[in-house]
Amino acid sequence: MKSKRFQARRYQLKKEGAVVVRQGHPWIFRDKLSTAVEAFEDGQWLQLVDALNETVGWGIYQATGGVGIRVLRKGVNPPSREWFKKLVQKAIAQRAPLRSQTEGFRILNGESDRLPGIVLDLYNGYAVLQTYSRGVDSLGRYLANVAYELLGLRGLLWKTPSKRKDAEQPGVRLLRGNLPGVVRFQEGALKLAADLRSGQKSGTFLDLRGLRRWLAEQNLRGARVLNLFSYTGAIGLACCEGGAREVLNVDAAQPSLDFGARYHAAPAQRWVCADIFHWIPQLTSQDYFDWIIVDPPSMASQMDQVPQALAVYRRIYRQLMGHLKPGGVMIACCCTSRISPDRFEQVVRQALGGAKVWQRLPMEVDHKPGFPEANYLKILIFRPPSQRSQPPSLPALHKKADHQPVKGRRRARPKTT
Ligand SMILES: C[S@@+](CC[C@H](N)C(=O)[O-])C[C@H]1O[C@@H](n2cnc3c(N)ncnc32)[C@H](O)[C@@H]1O
């Protein structure tokens, strides 16, 4: 951003595109654009006009992907530095109450804060910027610097989101201050840690804070918990806080489990490295859990992947039902907006034998969705009807008791530590 007003070029929208902008949606999908848009370079800022040449808004052209234009601002007034700065101030003010509860939260939440493609996460004074298209790279850096000054931060990292393919300089870059290898941060009662450079997302899954808080407040005394797709076991640690006797964290990424064993250790935490889709069928009829938490990766970034993802959900929840103790709790998470909340609930309910949802956890305030597509995260908590009358008297799965992660074998009997 070199000038107060950006060098926008004029682009005439089709009728449906103008309607999208007037209705306040932040994306115009490519199929709603005329071919004239292809004359622009990726990242070009646009003055959006309707069929009568009236300005309806301002946006950024994106040459690849389903979204063709990200809308920056609705109406005749162009977005300026001052205007963006106010949005950053507003986003920070909205999250002020969170600061007494956690040192890790999202400061800027992209389109939901009217800052298209720009995400900034905070971990105990260190921030991670992620920009989702070339057109917002410099704006993102500018706004992250604004937040850096306003919040008096210690370090600012710019990290390319894993799903972004068009980055000029992919990877991670320290923009301001310094950054320790691992950042520790307090979240409620939990002492968490994240590797901001090489961890998934901005370092950890901040959007799961509501689930961690909820679990830490539950009475899990004596419970055996299966935490599937555990990443670094932060959810497992929340279960320990709730009193769990044993938490089996299962993930395919050995480095994530190693990190968890080092930074999220607790006497009840166990670590299993395995491909979960091969691991579940190897559980025996003696393997029972009081709580099962399932938080798989998205599996459906495009609509045509949805049927396959739903089929996977159906299969694993059916399989897992055979390993949940009577009266046990099943927590089902889904992190793709391609699958609607209703569809997800319906599929999991059916697979769980018609179980009703006991609790539905909303998205946290710092991730609050500002438009339908941003409403990606579903967290449903079930207490399914019993499938068996009695659990086995002895838990068969876990016998050893050290806390080192071990490598799983794809088709071998599940190993735990
Ligand atoms: C959405 S993240 C889970 C976040 C985690 N629940 C937490 O509390 O931070 C998905 C995780 O699934 C793991 N994963 C993906 N495919 C897997 C598979 N087939 N088997 C086991 N883990 C897998 C990834 O390594 C990643 O850690």
What single DSSP character describes residue 304?
G
Domain-located, residue 90: yes
CATH of the domain at 59: 2.30.130.10
Residue 107 CA, ligand 1 centroid: distance in Å: 24
Number of other CB atoms surrounding residue 66 within 10 Å: 12
In whole angstroms, give the CA distance from residue 384 to residue 324. 9
Q: Is the CB of 187 under 6 A from ligand 1?
A: no
The answer to whether residue 194 is domain-embedded is no
Ligand 1 within 6 A of CB of 215: no
Read off the pLDDT of each residue in 47-62 and give the average, rounded to a whole number. Answer: 96
pLDDT at res. 168 = 66
What CA–CA distance (Å, rounded) separates 171 from 156? Answer: 14
Say what the pLDDT of residue 395 is.
41
| Closest residue by CA, ligand 1 atom 10 | 297
Task: Judge whether 146 and 88 are in contact, CB under 8 Å.
Answer: yes
Which residue among 74, 100, 129 closes a domain? Answer: 74
**6: pLDDT confidence band, cut at 50, 70 and 90?**
low
Contact 29, 59 (CB under 8 A): no
Domain membership flag for residue 4: no
Query: Does residue 159 lie within any of the structural domains?
Result: yes
| 4-29 mean pLDDT | 90
pLDDT at 412 over 60: no
Do residues 254 and 167 share a domain? no
Residue 200 near residue 256, CB atoms below 8 Å: yes
Establish if 413 belongs to a structural domain: no
> Contact, 45 vs 82, CB < 8 A?
no
Backbone φ/ψ region at 289: left (φ over 0), alpha (ψ -120 to 50), beta: beta
- In DSSP terms, which residues pair with 290 in a beta bridge? none
Range of the domain at 358: 205-407
Q: What is the spatial distance between Cα 147 and Cα 3, in angstroms, rounded to a whole number?
A: 19
Residue 197 falls within a domain, yes or no? no
What's the pLDDT at 398?
40
324: enclosing H helix or E strand: strand 324-334
Lowest mean pLDDT among 87-91, 169-173, 269-273: 169-173
Check pocket membership of 276 for ligand 1, CB cut-off 6 A. Answer: yes
Instruction: Round the average pLDDT of the chain to a whole number and report it.
Output: 90
Residue 237, ligand 1, Cβ within 6 A: no
Rounded-to-integer distance, Cα 360 and Cα 382, Å: 9
**How far is it, in rounded angstroms, from Cα 77 to Cα 56?**
9
Write the residue with the smallest CA distance to atom 15 of ligand 1: 297
Q: What is the pLDDT of residue 285?
A: 85
Contact call for residues 18 and 32 (beta carbons, < 8 A): no
Asked if the structure places residue 245 within a domain, the reply is yes
Amino acid sitting at position 190? L
**Domain stops at, among 31, 57, 74:** 74
Ligand 1 test: best mutation among 192, 248, 251, most atoms within 8 Å of CB? 251
CB 247 within 8 A of CB 225: yes
Q: Give the pLDDT confidence of 181-240 residue by residue, as tens digits.
A: 999 999 999 999 999 999 999 999 999 999 999 999 999 999 999 999 999 999 999 999
Domain finish residue from 149, 183, 217 = 183
Ligand 1: residue whose CA is nearest its atom 27: 231
Q: Per residue in 317-347, pLDDT tens?
A: 999 999 999 999 999 999 998 999 999 999 9
Q: In this predicted model, what pLDDT tens digit does every residue of 85-126 receive, in sequence order?
A: 999 999 999 999 999 999 999 999 999 999 999 999 999 999
As given in the structure block, the two tokens for residue 141 are 């850096």
Which tokens is 306 given? 């949805």
| CATH code, domain with 120 | 3.30.750.80
| 135 — pLDDT class (breaks 50, 70, 90) | confident
What spacing in Å lies between the alpha carbon of 127 and ligand 1's midpoint? 23
Q: How many domains does the chain have?
A: 3
Q: Is 335 in the pocket of ligand 1 (CB under 6 A)?
A: yes
Q: How confident is the model at residue 384 (pLDDT cuts 50, 70, 90)?
A: confident
Check if the beta carbon of residue 319 is closer than 8 Å to that of residue 255.
no
Question: What pLDDT score was predicted for residue 133?
Answer: 86
Instruction: Tell which atom from ligand 1 comes closest to the C-alpha of 298.
Output: 1
